[in-house]
Amino acid sequence: MAEVYKNFIDGEWVESSSGETYENRNPANWDEVIGIFQRSTKEDVNAAIEAAQRAYKKWRLVPAPKRAEIIFKAAQMIVERKEELAKDMTREMGKILPETRGDVQEAIDMSFFIAGEGRRLYGFTTPSELPLKFQMSIRIPMGVAAIITPWNFPMAIPSWKIIPALVAGNTVVFKPATDTPLSAYNFVKILEEAGVPKGVINFVTGSGGVVGEALISHPYVKIISFTGSSEVGKHIGSKGASLFKKVSLEMGGKNAQIVMDDANLELAVDGATWGGFGTTGQRCTATSRVIVHKKVYKQFLDMFVERAKALKVGNGLDPSTDVGPLINEAQMNKVLSYIEIGKQEGAKLLLGGFRLTGGDYDKGWFVAPTIFADVDPDMRIAQEEIFGPVVSVIPADSLEHAIEIANNSKYGLSSSIYTNDVKNAFIAIRDIYTGITYVNAPTIGAEVHLPFGGVNQTGNGHREGGHTVIDIFTEWKSVYIDFSSRLQRAQIDTDKIVKVEE
Ligand code: NAP
Ligand code: MG
């Protein structure tokens, strides 16, 4: 019998008031139940938010370096448990073990990096236009942070949000994706064991429609940090705006890799294969378009198909597997329907294009790595996020043409260019409109200490990762301290300097 996992509210592990639960199953083997989780209600969310609101009164006054000490400890605990955490994650959501180890490593890196902020959280000072006056701008915490995350990075993404929220002095209510509550539970459990005080981190599992909605509407919630689809992000953004909440959104992508005629084609194929089919294409930064200079188009395609054909699809715990399953049946059906759309639109299917069946495949949601060639940049498969192992290859006449195609997207997260000409590289860096550009590397592979996020419908102007994430989880307060012992009026008392000298 699978273990039953509870919500974490006000320092206690508790069942949902609904009395209902749901099963978390392995997408590589649907017979395997990973755990039973709470199907929570609005009442559960309200209890968690109230606990977080109460805990905030004390937590905000704990010195930031002390708050960070707990996070350093948690990071160390994740290091010690890395392998079991990665295995749980592979069983829960399918990606291969080297990738789930990477996901856990990202949570470690983020925790160490942001715990360091406990001794920074820099503000600034600046001179006054008036004499005998000091001024500075400091960061202040906000209150209760609502954290809503997707299933594709089940520990990394929660860590990008929860760790900076806590170090900055906020308290948290965390709703993980319905598909990946175990990795979220593991993360929260470690924070508890590391010593995060009661009520400071709360964890409520359940659906976006119930738990998510209750979170984004509650008056105590000051900041909503969301990663997921642009569709849900748009809804959360509008709702948050109507309630005057700060909302940070990280959403979809349709990332392009450009391959120039002077590129190292072996390297470019390595990049497209890893970027396109790593995590089964289920990364916000996945390479879903490869734009290839016409002079090397045919050669690149031959090499790319050859390489992708050799990928082994299967259970992510098997060391010989390159590509795991899709997260669930609905996502698999979505991917298969996009493959049909691609065919109908007239793109040339060069590889894959079907569900894998027979033997163990029948128990999971496996789709063969799929490559479309001769894709028109305006086709739906070149415009809409598929979030699966499907790559569209598009020919281009020149660098300018390739960049124009890359920028022809409603998204703008990541991009990449393969070239051995430094001029091409710098023009691409200048002209591609995305939040991230890689040179001679795939569209995936962000590091935690650089700002992460995108333009257009990928984001709403915030950047996670880097020092910029602190801007999401703090407000600025400007402080003016007048020690002149008289009323000084900024912008009006322009003759003050003279008076002081008298
Ligand atoms: P999703 O369907 O938008 O769900 C994301 C989260 O929002 C889940 O926890 C979901 O809960 C919750 N949610 C759904 N409806 C809600 C509502 N009405 N109110 C509040 N919360 C709600 O996205 P997904 O399918 O999990 O993840 C895939 C998407 O995430 C892709 O579009 C991908 O590009 C994007 N992504 C972006 C980044 C980035 O940093 N830019 C990173 C990773 C993924 P349930 O699980 O219960 O539905
Ligand atoms: Mg699952």
Q: Which ligand 1 atom sits closest to the C-alpha of 178?
A: 46
Mean per-residue pLDDT, 315-341: 98
To test ligand 1's pocket by mutation, which of 41, 106, 213, 229 has the most ligand atoms within 8 angstroms of CB? 229
Closest CA to 176 of 197, 146, 199: 146
**Amino acid making up residue 296:** V
Residue nearest to atom 47 of ligand 1 (CA): 207
Ligand nearest to the CA of 178: 1
Mean per-residue pLDDT, 361-376: 98
- The dihedral sign for the CA sequence 435, 440, 445, 451: negative
Is the pLDDT confidence value at 289 over 90? yes
Q: Which ligand 1 atom sits closest to the C-alpha of 413?
A: 41
| Run of H or E including 217 | helix 213-217
Closest CA to 326 of 294, 352, 306: 352
Distance from first CA to last CA of the chain, Å, rounded? 86
pLDDT 10s digits, 421-430: 999 999 999 9
CA of 230 to the centre of ligand 1 (A): 8
Is the pLDDT confidence value at 497 over 60? no
pLDDT 10s digits, 162-176: 999 999 999 999 999
> What was the pLDDT predicted at 502?
45
Is the pLDDT confidence value at 281 over 60? yes
Does the beta carbon of 235 sit less than 6 angstroms from any atom of ligand 1? Answer: yes
pLDDT 10s digits, 12-34: 999 999 999 999 999 999 999 99
DSSP 406-437: HH-SS--SEEEEE-S-HHHHHHHHHH--SSEE
Does the beta carbon of 333 sit less than 6 angstroms from any atom of ligand 1? Answer: no
Token reading at 5: 């996992």
**Amino acid making up residue 46:** N
DSSP 8-state class, residue 377: T
**Which of 248-252, 338-342, 497-501 is predicted with the least confidence, judged by mean pLDDT?**
497-501
> What was the pLDDT predicted at 196?
98
> What was the pLDDT predicted at 243?
98
Q: Determine how many CB atoms are found less than 10 A away from the CB of residue 37.
A: 25
Distance, in Å, from the CA atom of 272 to the CA atom of 441, rounded to the nearest integer, reads 9
To test ligand 1's pocket by mutation, which of 16, 41, 152 has the most ligand atoms within 8 angstroms of CB? 152
Residue nearest to atom 26 of ligand 1 (CA): 150
Distance, in Å, from the CA atom of 16 to the CA atom of 30, rounded to the nearest integer, reads 25
> What was the pLDDT predicted at 1?
80
Angle at alpha carbon of residue 205, lines to 252 and 469, rounded to 5°: 45
DSSP 447-499: -TTS-B--SGGGBSS--BSTTTHHHHH-EEEEEEEE-SSS---TTT-TTHHHH
**Amino acid making up residue 417:** I
> What was the pLDDT predicted at 316?
98
- Per-residue HEC secondary structure of 166-209 comes to HHCCCEEEEECCCCCHHHHHHHHHHHHHHCCCCCCEEECCCCHH
Contact 458, 127 (CB under 8 A): no
Distance, in Å, from the CA atom of 308 to the CA atom of 29, rounded to the nearest integer, reads 24
* pTM greater than 0.95: yes
> What was the pLDDT predicted at 491?
87
> What was the pLDDT predicted at 355?
98
Report the mean per-residue pLDDT for the chain. 97
Is the pLDDT confidence value at 292 over 50? yes
Residue nearest to atom 34 of ligand 1 (CA): 252
Contact 30, 363 (CB under 8 A): yes
Is the pLDDT confidence value at 501 over 70? no
Ligand nearest to the CA of 208: 1
Ligand nearest to the CA of 24: 2
Contact 327, 363 (CB under 8 A): no
Distance, in Å, from the CA atom of 117 to the CA atom of 139, rounded to the nearest integer, reads 12
CA of 232 to the centre of ligand 2 (A): 20
CA of 255 to the centre of ligand 2 (A): 26
Q: Which ligand 1 atom sits closest to the C-alpha of 153?
A: 43
Is the pLDDT confidence value at 284 over 70? yes
Mean per-residue pLDDT, 133-160: 98
Residue nearest to atom 14 of ligand 1 (CA): 208
Residue found under tokens 């609904």: 18
pLDDT 10s digits, 40-79: 999 999 999 999 999 999 999 999 999 999 999 999 999 9
Residue found under tokens 């392995």: 26
Is the pLDDT confidence value at 498 over 70? no
Does the beta carbon of 228 sit less than 6 angstroms from any atom of ligand 1? Answer: yes
CA of 210 to the centre of ligand 1 (A): 14
pLDDT 10s digits, 68-127: 999 999 999 999 999 999 999 999 999 999 999 999 999 999 999 999 999 999 999 999
Residue nearest to atom 8 of ligand 1 (CA): 177
E strand segments, 229-303: 246-250, 255-259, 287-293
Does the beta carbon of 321 sit less than 6 angstroms from any atom of ligand 1? Answer: no
Residue nearest to atom 40 of ligand 1 (CA): 250
Delimit the CATH 3.40.309.10 region(s) of the chain. Answer: 255-439
Domain 65-251+459-478 = CATH 3.40.50.1100: no
Delimit the CATH 3.40.605.10 region(s) of the chain. Answer: 65-251+459-478
Q: Which ligand 1 atom sits closest to the C-alpha of 213?
A: 19
Q: What are phi and psi of 162, to 5 degrees?
A: -65, -40
To test ligand 1's pocket by mutation, which of 41, 221, 232, 434 has the most ligand atoms within 8 angstroms of CB? 232
Ligand nearest to the CA of 413: 1
Contact 247, 240 (CB under 8 A): yes
Ligand nearest to the CA of 254: 1
**Amino acid making up residue 124:** F
Token reading at 85: 């955490």
Token reading at 111: 């925790």
CATH topology of domain 255-439: Aldehyde Dehydrogenase; Chain A, domain 2 (3.40.309)
Q: What are phi and psi of 250, to 5 degrees?
A: -120, 120
State how far the alpha carbon of 458 is from the alpha carbons of 227, 360, 441, in Å.
Answer: 10, 36, 21
| Run of H or E including 144 | strand 144-148
Active-site amino acid positions:
250, 284
DSSP 8-state class, residue 374: S
Is the pLDDT confidence value at 459 over 60? yes
Distance, in Å, from the CA atom of 35 to the CA atom of 316, rounded to the nearest integer, reads 18
Q: Which ligand 1 atom sits closest to the C-alpha of 239?
A: 19
Distance, in Å, from the CA atom of 410 to the CA atom of 383, rounded to the nearest integer, reads 8
Q: Which ligand 1 atom sits closest to the C-alpha of 233?
A: 3
Is the pLDDT confidence value at 130 over 70? yes
Distance, in Å, from the CA atom of 91 to the CA atom of 150, rounded to the nearest integer, reads 16
Mean per-residue pLDDT, 455-472: 97
Residue nearest to atom 11 of ligand 1 (CA): 208
Angle at alpha carbon of residue 254, lines to 352 and 210, rounded to 5°: 100
